Structure 1
Amino acid sequence: MFFSSCALVIGSNLNFMAQAMIRILKNNGYTILTCGLDHDEIAEKSENAGVFIMYLDNMDFNNLSVFEYIKTICSNRIVCAIGKPNEYKEFYRIFPKNLVRIEMPHPANVMILIDQLRRERTISDEMINAEKKHQILLVDDDSTFLDVSSGWLKKYGKYDVAIVNSGPQAIDYLDRFTPELILLDYEMPIMDGPTVLAKLRKNERTKDIPVYFLTGKSDRDSIMRVMAMRPNGYLLKTLDQQQLVARVNDFFLSQQK
């Protein structure tokens, strides 16, 4: 669960000005974690952080893989960037500006930052409270995967998730219910994912329901076979909790545009 009062400060040079900012944030009720521009450290420390503060001073903007990872996990967080004009120019070359909700010049006026964080937290809370739960059907013959993935989507994504463990059960469920998204295992016994998708596309009532294939294979040939059936997308079954929820969040956000 993300806590809006917990902030992860990410930076390569958390100097005395950064430390002063951290002290003031702590004095105003924030729990502060700090880390460098390191994938494993960010993954370890970001679990509860509802706020990411990107401290751009002396940041290595060539570390593209880490920025790609941050993009996958920040969709439900308040992202703040603190830097100088030339640092922002480099930052936005590799990181989408629309994901940054607060910009602060360096050195930051921390009390203004706190006011902006308070405003963004209020907006986020209102949006969460106003959201209805999107309905998802998760289809997979692996009961462990069903339990773990549906748990993540319910708890961290706040989705209404129905689960079935076979293609025939999916068809039966869809005769009675219409979810907003189907996450469908590509490889299943008796009736595999492509067969289920073909049946759905031939049915007038289900032909427009978005379907994402679930696959455990990430090599190019396997992905091409998965996408040959023209699903709406695919998800690797090796995605962790944050990545899975972020990908599903991104799908529903795209539907609102």
Structure 2
Amino acid sequence: MIPKCVMMIGSKESFFIKVLVKKIQGSGESSGIEAGYVPASKADITAKWDKCGILTYYMESGEVIDEALIRFLAKKLEEGNKQLILVGEAADTSPVLSQLPKDRVYKVFDRPLDNDEYIQVVTEFFNRDTTGETRKSVLIIDDDTNYMGLVRQWLKVKYKVSMACSGQQAFKWFENNTADLILLDFEMPDVSGPQVLKMLHDNESTRDIPVFFLTGRTDLAGVSDSNELNCIGFLQKTIGQDELLKVIADFFGSNN
């Protein structure tokens, strides 16, 4: 279960941010939800990262967020599998949204903000997690970013999807996250898929995560047996969206 806390980010702790924090903590609807202001800096956000379940960035009128900070947030949201609520005037939020992963932006509110609607959205977000309605998490590990992005687009309609371009990046992601399933490219440069799988099995925190291999090979005769590698099986990269969704849904269904 994710931490029941809202990280309220802003360039300054304005009157409006203080009001939102108090409303979150004092509202009957949002009972049990914590909230706190965090300055818009990499260090401050990182320090509070693991304690928050969702982020809200409250933009002041005419505020321009530094591009380095936006890139930082985009990366952290992807790696941490978290969601962001963005509040601001349309002219200010539009440039920010163009640089953030669409599936990591939970909601956008225009100013002036309807506080009650905001509280309702935050409450519903945490209620979904409490009742077990949150989605299964799938991590894709593949050096082909175009293919990986395509698969993420396919899967994000039903699952929380994260991506890593290498085994090293995947293990960095696993420092603060976990996954219910891994889709692992069989043939990668430097460290191959089977080598990454062995590393996963040798690590106590990842050894039990099920793995499907992805392969571009149409002839699987030369690929090692799935039992030998201790994986679920192999999926050819020619697989279509509907078939892939069915394979994953069947897997989760049979393992619930």
| Superposition TM-score, scaled by structure 1 size | 0.53
What amino acid maps onto 1:180 in structure 2? Answer: F
Q: Do the aligned residues in 2 keep the contact of 1:7 with 1:33 (CA within 8 Å)?
A: yes
Once the two structures are superposed, the pairs formed by residues 187-198 of structure 1 within 5 Å of their partners are none
SS of 1:90 mapped into structure 2: helix
When the two chains are superposed, the root-mean-square deviation of aligned CA atoms in Å is 4.7
Once the two structures are superposed, the pairs formed by residues 11-50 of structure 1 within 5 Å of their partners are 11-28=10-27, 29-50=32-53
Do the aligned partners of residues 103 and 202 (structure 1) sit closer, same or farther apart at CA in structure 2, a change above 3 Å counting? same
1:88 to 87, 93, 101: 93
| Number of equivalenced pairs | 181
Q: Do the aligned residues in 2 keep the contact of 1:134 with 1:180 (CA within 8 Å)?
A: no
Task: Give the Cα separation in 1 of the matches to 2:63 and 2:100.
Answer: 13
Who is 1:77 aligned against?
82
Task: Give the Cα separation in 2 of the matches to 1:36 and 1:83.
Answer: 16
Could you tell me how far 1:181 is from its partner in structure 2?
5.1
Do the aligned partners of residues 77 and 59 (structure 1) sit closer, same or farther apart at CA in structure 2, a change above 3 Å counting? farther
Asked if residue 157 in structure 1 is aligned to residue 193 in structure 2, the reply is no
Q: Do the aligned residues in 1 keep the contact of 2:88 with 2:110 (CA within 8 Å)?
A: yes
Could you tell me how far 1:78 is from its partner in structure 2?
3.1
Task: Give the Cα separation in 2 of the matches to 1:171 and 1:83.
Answer: 43
Q: Which structure 1 residue ranges, 5 or more long, are not aligned?
A: 137-145, 183-199, 211-251
Q: Do the aligned residues in 2 keep the contact of 1:12 with 1:58 (CA within 8 Å)?
A: no
Task: Give the Cα separation in 2 of the matches to 1:152 and 1:19.
Answer: 33
Task: Give the Cα separation in 2 of the matches to 1:134 and 1:95.
Answer: 19
What amino acid maps onto 2:2 in structure 1? Answer: F
Do the aligned partners of residues 96 and 56 (structure 1) sit closer, same or farther apart at CA in structure 2, a change above 3 Å counting? farther
Do the aligned partners of residues 171 and 70 (structure 1) sit closer, same or farther apart at CA in structure 2, a change above 3 Å counting? closer
Task: Give the Cα separation in 2 of the matches to 1:105 and 1:171.
Answer: 44
SS of 1:156 mapped into structure 2: coil
Could you tell me how far 1:91 is from its partner in structure 2?
2.1
Q: Do the aligned residues in 1 keep the contact of 2:7 with 2:36 (CA within 8 Å)?
A: yes
2:69 to 60, 66, 71: 66
Q: Do the aligned residues in 1 keep the contact of 2:56 with 2:86 (CA within 8 Å)?
A: yes
Q: Which structure 2 residue ranges, 5 or more long, are not aligned?
A: 142-166, 183-190, 199-209, 215-219, 227-232, 237-243, 249-256
Could you tell me how far 1:36 is from its partner in structure 2?
2.2
Task: Give the Cα separation in 2 of the matches to 1:201 and 1:55.
Answer: 55
Asked if residue 180 in structure 1 is aligned to residue 212 in structure 2, the reply is yes
Who is 1:234 aligned against?
none
Do the aligned partners of residues 55 and 170 (structure 1) sit closer, same or farther apart at CA in structure 2, a change above 3 Å counting? closer
Could you tell me how far 1:98 is from its partner in structure 2?
3.8
* Residues 128-173 of structure 1: CA deviation (Å, up to 9, x unaligned): 4x6388799xxxxxxxxx9xx8797397314479xxxx99x95997
Do the aligned partners of residues 117 and 73 (structure 1) sit closer, same or farther apart at CA in structure 2, a change above 3 Å counting? same
Do the aligned partners of residues 121 and 61 (structure 1) sit closer, same or farther apart at CA in structure 2, a change above 3 Å counting? same
Task: Give the Cα separation in 2 of the matches to 1:98 and 1:160.
Answer: 19
Task: Give the Cα separation in 2 of the matches to 1:68 and 1:54.
Answer: 14
Q: Do the aligned residues in 1 keep the contact of 2:59 with 2:87 (CA within 8 Å)?
A: yes
What amino acid maps onto 1:10 in structure 2? Answer: I
